[in-house]
Structure 1
């Protein structure tokens, strides 16, 4: 991925995957035809989406013309290579019991999910905490079944929150994982409606990432639910990244018609993020050897359980951008800023930084440590003011919590461009 065309189109490392996606789309079209789906109401097989979720159905020469003087557009400047340090770390809130997901609300408040108590807490910029109540909060407590890594997990709000008030959460129930939503007014959550259910659950590899992309669609990261074969089974919602309309319907341009599956071959996805150009990234918990940071391309498979770490291209899988040994990372949430991808590490007990300028150029990236010594790190969120919010996770049953754990930390970044 060294030339501009490769960067703005399908990266070299995933070109083989495009062929796989095209084949899947062709199979979907044939099945639809056999079912008599050529009437006006039948869904159309979409074009293969490009990285970031943008689909193109125009011919390859759409921008070409026979007119004289047609000029090649000036390429956009690439992000600078840079380094970053944690210039200042401030404790926003402490004493949280197993925090998991975080969503930034308009006005600066944060909405935090507590995994085991199945509660949502609203945290003001000055650290004041208010418990979310109401019929939706009651339903969450009554229907969520915390067990191992399961419980009340990811939380997300769309860019339309100021007008619709919807809060989306990923929760583990008696039979499965589900994504539900309710309207939040102040600290009152209205009755819940199900966006998607039937996601396989397990005490480990339970997934839980939830985020809205720049395309306005809702994305969810799921685990393989301790059944590795689920990850390659396109009929299973386990071991996948899913893409939905906010109401739970399937977008017409998903790779497989009628399916929420966006990508497959994942072991346990707990972090999702996008850069300013729409490239999508996800963190991946490995088994014994390698954890991963991946660039996500619609319809691609990321190898699990056939491949852990690099080496998948020969099998038609996508190789990761970066790998860590499992004792260095066990990555959970991620945040993508203008300068880097910041990765929360549970077992590694630190925040890793991967330089975005290096990634966009297709050059090998070496992760650096931004912050350590704060215990297990569950999540990291880019705040609108340019700071990072770091969520510790030492009360999750696998850490050694301090008296004031768990904490929300606001980190001021000092970013320096390098040649």
Structure 2
């Protein structure tokens, strides 16, 4: 499936939701009309919504007293020149842990050459000043991207509970690289916020945190601090993975046209979909408006434009229940991005609108 990356940040902004009846009927609201594919969103502690589009736009929709209002239009903070393609462009967004004081946020994107083709990928830090993002600082610049490889860049960017930056960098459609932990493609990368390599990374001197990744699109931590990733297979075997430091997730050995893939190598997935759904963004719901989802995982199934609810066992190693969530009034609610908001609403995006689900 061809889709862009997404993020689900882990910062824990203050809860400002108004009291609601948790037994009332589900309602959906259309919050932000969008121009382009939303590839990431995050919230500030005051409830402001930040989101990015694949074509290079960075936007903020301001909250009023901690609540997003339909009549408050979003403001574009930055328009980056990016190499925009089917799976390239502006792909990752994460607000700094001290955003309220520093105004720092992080962006991951593919750089364009003079012809507009990919000429590298980078991670940059920007500073919010009034209604503009300024003072760009390139903190990671050695990520390969070329005109010959325009697929599988991943791009999900996440600030972890440990204060480190986590980035999915896909295999770029070059299988052997994913299975080699000495290369960056096909990996989940972990950096300090200044772009340096944490001393406790599993491979000394390397940002590689886990490898054997084909085409990952979502990262999220559960309430116990466990990291999960969604991954798209080739023609079968999409995956939900529990990410362990230094683990090999198997891609780069499996025959490209073998369905199902051999299961004798790599870390086994928590969930596997042999008939592909293209799992994309994921989040663990931590609000009060939807108690039936409390602590559970929700993800976007890109191919069907569905929102799916997955309940895991206590160890977080097995899916014990999976269901398709009906979003009132919206037949295709969730394609790339889903996020539990600080106001208790569940936010998601399709190709036209950012919606929210709640009571």
TM-score after normalising by structure 1:
0.69
Q: Aligned residue pairs: how many?
A: 308
Query: Which of 148, 167, 180 is equivalent to 1:220?
Result: 167
Aligned to 1:247: 194
Q: Deviations over 1:3-25 (max 9, x none)?
A: xxxxxxxxxxxxxxxxxxxxxxx
- In the alignment, does 2:284 pair up with 1:336? yes
Gaps of 5+ in 1: 1-51, 53-83, 395-405, 414-419
Greater helix content: 1
| Partner Cα separation in structure 2 for residue 85 and residue 271 of structure 1 | 30
Identify if the C-alpha distance between structure 1 residues 180 and 235 changes in structure 2 by more than 3 Å, giving closer, same or farther.
same
| Aligned position for 2:27 | 88
- 2:102 corresponds to which residue? 164
The alignment status of 1:233 with 2:191, answered yes or no, reads: no
8 Å CA contact 1:352, 1:368 repeated in 2? yes
Partner residue in 2 for 1:97:
36
CA separation in 2, counterparts of 1:250 and 1:378? 29
Give the conservation status (yes or no) of the 8 Å contact 2:104–2:126: yes
User: Equivalent residues in 2 for 1:13-412 (5 A)?
Assistant: 87-116=26-55, 118-124=56-62, 125-127=68-70, 128-133=72-77, 137=78, 140-141=80-81, 144-174=82-112, 175-201=119-145, 202-307=149-254, 312=263, 314-315=264-265, 317-327=266-276, 329-337=277-285, 338-356=294-312, 358=313, 360=315, 362-371=317-326, 373-374=331-332, 377-392=335-350, 394=351, 406-412=352-358
Quote the Cα distance in structure 2 between the aligned partners of 1:363 and 1:240.
Answer: 23
CA distance in 2, matches of 1:86, 1:319: 38
Cα distance in 2, alignment partners of residues 309 and 251 from structure 1 = 37
TM superposition score normalised by structure 2:
0.80
Q: CA deviation at 1:159?
A: 2.0
Alpha-carbon distance in 1 for matches of 2:261, 2:27? 35
Name the counterpart of 2:288: none
Q: What CA distance in whole angstroms lies between the structure 1 residues aligned with 2:197 and 2:60? A: 30
Alpha-carbon distance in 1 for matches of 2:302, 2:316: 29
Question: CA 1:235/1:266 → structure 2, altered by over 3 Å: closer, same or farther?
Answer: same
Query: Contact between 2:222 and 2:295, CA under 8 Å: does it hold in 1?
Result: no
Q: Is the 8 A contact 2:179 2:212 kept in 1?
A: yes
Work out the CA distance in 2 between the residues paired with 1:259 and 1:274.
Answer: 22
Contact in 1 for aligned 2:260/2:274 (Cα 8 Å): no
Distance 1:179 1:351, change over 3 A: same
By how many angstroms is 1:98 displaced?
A: 1.7
Distance 1:153 1:288, change over 3 A: same
Please state how far the C-alpha of 1:198 moved relative to its aligned partner: 2.3
Cα shift readout 1:375-418 (whole Å, capped 9, x = no counterpart): 661100111122210111x3xxxxxxxxxxx11111117xxxxx
How far does residue 207 in structure 1 lie from its aligned partner after superposition?
0.6
Distance (whole Å) between structure 2 residues aligned to residue 89 and residue 219 of structure 1: 31
- Aligned 8 A contact 2:298 2:310 in 1: yes
Q: Distance in 2 between matches of 1:122 and 1:167?
A: 12
Deviations 1:135-192 (A, max 9, x none): xx35x23xx1112210011111122111111110110113111111111123211121
**In structure 2, distance between residues paired with 1:264 and 1:111:** 29
Tell me how far apart the structure 1 counterparts of residues 88 and 176 of structure 2 sit (CA, whole Å): 20
Q: By how many angstroms is 1:87 displaced?
A: 1.7
User: What's the Cα RMSD here?
Assistant: 2.3
Larger relative strand fraction: 2
Q: What secondary structure, in the 3-state scheme, does the structure 2 residue paired with 1:204 have?
A: coil
State the Cα deviation string for residues 94-149 of structure 1 (Å, max 9, x = none).
24322211111221111111112x1111123114333334xxx35x23xx111221
